[in-house]
Chains A and B, each alone.
Chain A
Amino acid sequence: MSLRKLTALAVYATLALAVYAIESAVPPLVPLPGIKLGLANVVTLILLQQYTAKDAFLVLTVRILLSALLFGQALSLLYSLAGGIVSFAVMCPSNRLLRRKLPFLTGALGGLSHNLAQLLTAYAVTSTAGVLVYLPYMAASGILAGLFTGLCAHFAGRYLIPHTK
């Protein structure tokens, strides 16, 4: 990894962490756990567009671990990791399938899978089938939030200098 790339990725990780911190400081709009915009995903989507999947995954993991270290508890790390890894596993191939052109579709798929993974984690943690009542809420909010973050990534990507080796 070149020094230039390392620095760029570090800046992206800082940006993701800052966005995450600001978003978690804003009180939630809906009094349901797990429903939020997930603005930090904008950074992951931009990296998937302009860098390689490996770089995007690196920044995602650094962001999740640092945010848990700085603001979170052990349990929120579990939810973040489950959501982050599963949504990445969905976004990476779908981004390739969509030829990196339609980040809002990739984002919607990512948001959906992120929320489904977190819901399943909640099911595993509480071992109560009752949390599955949230399924439609989580699915709908995941898709809508993913569309929004995807559009953010789409427009932000226009103003960024494309990565050169």
Chain B
Amino acid sequence: MENQKEYKITVVIISALLGLILTASLAAIFRPVSDGTGCIADIYQDGNLLASIPLDGKGAPYQFTVTGENGCFNEIQVCPHSIGILSADCPDKLCVNQGFIDRLGLPIVCLPNKLVIRLREADSGAVDAVAY
């Protein structure tokens, strides 16, 4: 009988823990995201900041290519308000399929080529833009 009680407590604790983590995660996912007008796109390769591109709505769209070790590449398209990866040589193309990002939140990550594009607000950490 005592064993049965202990078992029930274990089950309740594990379920409560999982429920808590799930609720916290969902709350974090659906929290309001600030819109990215005037944000800056940071492009990281292998953890190093390659470039910081302001997405302030000025200028015409343009493309450039980031190459990495073993000749891998990601072709990046910069639009006035968004940034995305047009093509890449990685096998899964997850970075391309993620499309264009235009607000703070999820970064574009290309794991095979170790490339990360992340948006941040323009006024936060302006000094970081020169920290190459």
Asked if B14 is at the interface of the complex by the 8 Å CB criterion, the answer is: yes
Q: Interface 1/0s, chain B 91-111, versus A by CB < 8 A? A: 110100111000001110101
The answer to whether B25 and A133 have CB atoms under 8 Å apart is: no
A73, A102, A130, A143 — most chain B CB neighbours (10 Å): A130
- In the complex, the number of residue pairs spanning A and B with C-beta atoms less than 8 Å apart equals 88
CA of A143 to CA of B118, assembled, Å = 26
Interface of A is mostly: helix
From B10, B15, B92, B116, give the contact of A126 (CB < 8 A): B116
Chain B residues with CB under 8 A of A136: 24-26, 28-29
CA of A131 to CA of B118, assembled, Å = 10
Asked if A17 is at the interface of the complex by the 8 Å CB criterion, the answer is: no
The answer to whether B109 and A94 have CB atoms under 8 Å apart is: no
The answer to whether A130 and B22 have CB atoms under 8 Å apart is: no
Q: Interface 1/0s, chain A 34-75, versus B by CB < 8 A? A: 000000000000000000000000000000000000000101
Q: Interface 1/0s, chain B 1-29, versus A by CB < 8 A? A: 00000010011001100100110111011
Asked if B57 is at the interface of the complex by the 8 Å CB criterion, the answer is: no
Cβ of B27 to closest chain A Cβ, rounded Å: 8
From B18, B24, B46, B114, give the contact of A108 (CB < 8 A): B18
Interface size on A, residues (CB 8 A): 31
Cβ of B34 to closest chain A Cβ, rounded Å: 14
Asked if B61 is at the interface of the complex by the 8 Å CB criterion, the answer is: no
* CB nearest to A102 among chain B residues: B11
Chain B interface residue number, banded: 20 to 34
* CB nearest to B44 among chain A residues: A128
CA of A33 to CA of B106, assembled, Å = 12
Considering the complex, which residues of chain B in the window 62-98 have a beta carbon less than 8 Å from any beta carbon of chain A?
91-92, 94, 97-98
Cβ of A26 to closest chain B Cβ, rounded Å: 13
From B14, B26, B111, give the contact of A122 (CB < 8 A): B111
The answer to whether A105 and B118 have CB atoms under 8 Å apart is: no
CA of A42 to CA of B9, assembled, Å = 26
Known: A31-B98, A128-B44. 8 other contacts (CB 8 A): A97-B14, A126-B44, A130-B44, A133-B105, A136-B29, A139-B24, A139-B25, A140-B29
Subset of 28 A-B contacts with CB under 8 Å: A31-B94, A32-B94, A32-B98, A32-B106, A73-B91, A75-B111, A75-B112, A94-B14, A97-B14, A98-B7, A98-B10, A105-B18, A109-B18, A122-B109, A125-B114, A128-B44, A130-B107, A131-B107, A134-B109, A135-B25, A135-B28, A136-B25, A137-B106, A139-B22, A139-B24, A140-B22, A140-B29, A143-B18
